[in-house]
Amino acid sequence: MFCAQDEIIRDRLQSVISIVDDVCKISGAPSASVGVLHDNKIIFTKGHGTVAGNQLNLKPRQPGPDTVYGIGSMTKSFVIACLAKVRLEGKKAKFEWSTPMKDLVDGFNTDDRLQHLVTLSDFISHRTGLDGDMSIAYQGDQEFLLPKHEVLRAVATLSKAGHFRNDWIYNNWGYSLAGKVLEKYSGKSFKDCLRDYVLVPLSLHNTTTTPDPNGDFASAHAALDNGDIYRLPNKIPPPFEESIFETAGGIYSSVNDLLAWAKAILAAEKRSYSGPLEDVPTILSNQVPLDNPSRDHRFYGFGWVRTALPNVVGLQGDNAELFNRDQLPVLGSKSQPMMTYYHQGAGLGYYSAIFMFPESNSAVVVLTNSMPLNDVADWIAQIYITALFQFEDGGKTYLDLAKKYVGLAKKSRDQKLRLVRTMRTGIDSEHNTNYSCPRELDLYTGRFYNSKGSWPGNFFIDIRCPKNWGEKDNSLELRFQGWDSQLYELRHLRDDIFEWALDYNQQARRARFTVWDPEYFKIQFNFSLKRSHEAVTLNWAGNGMVLTRCEDKLYLPQNPLKHSKGVLPFLQKTLRRVMRSWRLVSRGSRKSSGYLPEKAHFSRPGR
């Protein structure tokens, strides 16, 4: 039963339902499941939109509080809870949060300046200063390019991007390492740790790493640029299961389970707590400021952001990348100071958010099943929080403030599409203003390995001539890890630079995290004076990554006469190749005027 005050709050929450429906439609979210906890009671749940029927005899239906969604990086708080339990098993702590990673994981190797200093706590609070780029592990299509056992070699290739223990740089690789620590010291798989340390003790029946696609399950989608919804293929097993990023974003859950999770976290923060969770005050404590220099009480702990309202929130998600900080809304702008712990999730076909408020024992959970046109879960959560606490600003009521998020949803959607459109327009313009011809296409072909770290690296790109070679004289084929499922067309841009730029819908249909930096899609081939006949290295995204050609892996046409359409054209082509090689030797290996920048913004890490 609800008391009178609960009913008043419920009425406020009901009053913003139509606003949230509008935000979902604008943002490309086919469904959203929402729940609100207040004073330790679930006072409100709501399903927006519909989830598709997963069996032939089921029609689309409204999601419920037990509908299962991917929760992306909200997984991290569960991993931390498991680590805390394992750490304190037995009479003596098995390790400390401050234990150097080299002492926890055999074979760990990183930047020489960090090797003996960087700790478990540095990785799980994203304060290592290392780049969080995931390009060598994920390029779309719900396929991870590296197996789980390659995590150490992958981490060894990460470059420094900021100051150690000073800059907050989101890095999913740290939670891949945390998973290795968890499995080593528990002697169990992550799935078993999750079950034994969290799910069974807290009776979380809908939380799993292996959801039933035929049950009460929200299938993954992506939003297209016109607002249409594209259903992503159902992957069995799910893409994160036993993957390199399972402990960074591989959990599925429901609103009811996550509200119970929030209730347990809030209870465990108190000194009188005697439940199954361990060390929660430390987990929620300030570890690194989100801003540098620190201001406005915005910090990251272990798997949680800690912020005092009134303040800008959602800084871990996409909306913060689409706007300048001063363009983002201040949540609770005229309210009394209020602490909140939150986290967002961006998975393959899912966006989510959870906010907790310890003073009132409140929480708001939002789950959506789309890679949307903005961070829709963030906007929805802020709308419901505004109604929950009846935030006002001058003469504006909570309802007036909630309605502003419709405009923000449109603005963020338009900004994201504009950024991608500008990227494509710029590359198309380069095509139209540069008329240089490439070398013979087979000179660019080969297998190029990530040359940083041990040789050969664990990541490579195959460059091949297309099957219809001769018809597409200025195009090549790019395959990440040599997989046919990871095929992209590589088009000549200028000099020895090619591009594989994707428009918004091409990225969405392949379940890619949206990239709008034009340099990310450019590849420059480099030739040696001593061996000018074939490319020896390639630069991806400027100097973002340098890959070296492996001598043993060449992909030349099997029948050059066939592709040249006769003997005479083949001889003419060979002569042109010899003349071009002579010109290359005579001019040296100087950089062309079109050389790529020193380093592009390499990739947005998944959140």
Same domain, 576 and 464: yes
Structure confidence at residue 564 (pLDDT) = 42
- Residues, the chain, total? 607
* Cis check: omega of the bond before 456, within 30 degrees of 0: yes
Last residue of a domain, one of 416, 449, 465: 416
Same domain, 108 and 198: yes
Helix, strand, coil percentages in the chain from 3-state DSSP, rounded to 5:
35, 20, 45
Same domain, 152 and 17: yes
Spatial separation of the C-alpha atoms in residues 439 and 525, rounded to whole Å = 11
Distance separating the N- and C-terminal Cα atoms of the chain: 38
Amino acid identity of residue 116, one-letter, is: H
Could you report the per-residue pLDDT of 321-347, keeping only the tens digit for each? Answer: 999 999 999 999 888 999 999 999 999
> Quick check: 409 pLDDT over 80?
yes
SS3 at position 78: helix
Of 334 and 223, the structure prediction assigns the larger pLDDT to: 223
Q: Which tokens go with 570?
A: 């083949």
Sequence-distant (6+) residues with CB within 8 A of 84 are: 277, 278, 279, 280, 283
Q: Which tokens go with 388?
A: 């929950």
Could you report the per-residue pLDDT of 414-469, keeping only the tens digit for each? Answer: 999 999 999 999 999 999 888 788 999 999 999 999 876 666 678 999 999 998 76
> Quick check: 295 pLDDT over 90?
no
> Quick check: 588 pLDDT over 80?
no
Same domain, 449 and 377: no
Structure confidence at residue 146 (pLDDT) = 95
- The answer to whether 304 and 77 are in contact (CB under 8 A) is yes
Same domain, 315 and 363: yes
Amino acid identity of residue 328, one-letter, is: L
* Mean pLDDT of the residues in the chain: 89
pTM above 0.75, yes or no: yes
Q: What does the pLDDT average to over 507-516?
A: 97
Sequence-distant (6+) residues with CB within 8 A of 195 are: none
Q: Is residue 607, in this structure, part of any structural domain at all?
A: no
Q: Which of 153-157, 257-261, 586-590 has the highest mean pLDDT?
A: 257-261
Spatial separation of the C-alpha atoms in residues 317 and 346, rounded to whole Å = 8
- The answer to whether 176 and 138 are in contact (CB under 8 A) is no
Could you report the per-residue pLDDT of 463-487, keeping only the tens digit for each? Answer: 999 987 665 578 999 999 999 999 9
Of 551 and 101, the structure prediction assigns the larger pLDDT to: 101
Q: Which residues pair with 464 in a beta bridge?
A: 477
Same domain, 504 and 383: no
Q: Is residue 327, in this structure, part of any structural domain at all?
A: yes
Q: Which tokens go with 553?
A: 């892996």
- The answer to whether 303 and 274 are in contact (CB under 8 A) is no
Same domain, 410 and 293: yes
pLDDT band at 181 (very low <50, low <70, confident <90, very high): very high
Note down the domain range covering 230: 4-58+69-416
Identify the helix (H) or strand (E) that includes residue 367.
Answer: strand 362-368
Spatial separation of the C-alpha atoms in residues 34 and 607, rounded to whole Å = 20
How remote is the C-alpha of 560 from its chain's centroid? 42
Spatial separation of the C-alpha atoms in residues 159 and 340, rounded to whole Å = 33
Q: Is residue 605, in this structure, part of any structural domain at all?
A: no
> Quick check: 60 pLDDT over 70?
yes
> Quick check: 56 pLDDT over 60?
no
Sequence-distant (6+) residues with CB within 8 A of 487 are: 477, 478, 479
Burial of 601 (0-12, 13-18, 19+ CB in 10 A): middle
Give 340's Cβ-side CA count (13 Å radius).
Answer: 28
CATH code where residue 532 lies: 2.40.128.50
Spatial separation of the C-alpha atoms in residues 62 and 51, rounded to whole Å = 6
pLDDT band at 589 (very low <50, low <70, confident <90, very high): very low
Alpha helices in 187-268, H assignment, sequence order:
190-194, 200-202, 246-249, 255-268
Last residue of a domain, one of 383, 416, 449: 416
Share of the chain above pLDDT 70, in %: 86
Same domain, 497 and 352: no
CB count in 10 Å sphere of residue 545: 26
Structure confidence at residue 599 (pLDDT) = 37
Structure confidence at residue 1 (pLDDT) = 66
Structure confidence at residue 292 (pLDDT) = 72
Same domain, 448 and 350: no
Q: Is residue 421, in this structure, part of any structural domain at all?
A: no
Share of the chain above pLDDT 90, in %: 77
Same domain, 452 and 399: no
Spatial separation of the C-alpha atoms in residues 117 and 99, rounded to whole Å = 9
Same domain, 310 and 451: no
Q: Is residue 428, in this structure, part of any structural domain at all?
A: no
Spatial separation of the C-alpha atoms in residues 541 and 131, rounded to whole Å = 15
- The answer to whether 531 and 521 are in contact (CB under 8 A) is no
Last residue of a domain, one of 416, 451, 468: 416
- The answer to whether 128 and 174 are in contact (CB under 8 A) is yes
Same domain, 220 and 346: yes
Give the total number of structural domains in the chain: 2
DSSP class of residue 235? P
Q: Is residue 405, in this structure, part of any structural domain at all?
A: yes
Q: Is residue 385, in this structure, part of any structural domain at all?
A: yes
Spatial separation of the C-alpha atoms in residues 435 and 451, rounded to whole Å = 32
> Quick check: 595 pLDDT over 60?
no
Structure confidence at residue 552 (pLDDT) = 43
Q: Is residue 129, in this structure, part of any structural domain at all?
A: yes
> Quick check: 592 pLDDT over 70?
no
Identify the helix (H) or strand (E) that includes residue 354.
Answer: strand 351-357
CATH code where residue 13 lies: 3.40.710.10
Residue of 296, 295, 312, 313 whose CA lies nearest to 304:
313
Q: Which residues pair with 538 in a beta bridge?
A: 525, 547
Structure confidence at residue 394 (pLDDT) = 87
Structure confidence at residue 530 (pLDDT) = 64
- The answer to whether 108 and 155 are in contact (CB under 8 A) is yes
- The answer to whether 358 and 266 are in contact (CB under 8 A) is yes
Cα–Cα distances in angstroms (integers) from residue 253 to residues 46, 203, 207, 217, 374, in the given order: 16, 12, 4, 10, 22
Structure confidence at residue 54 (pLDDT) = 60
Spatial separation of the C-alpha atoms in residues 295 and 588, rounded to whole Å = 52
Structure confidence at residue 528 (pLDDT) = 86
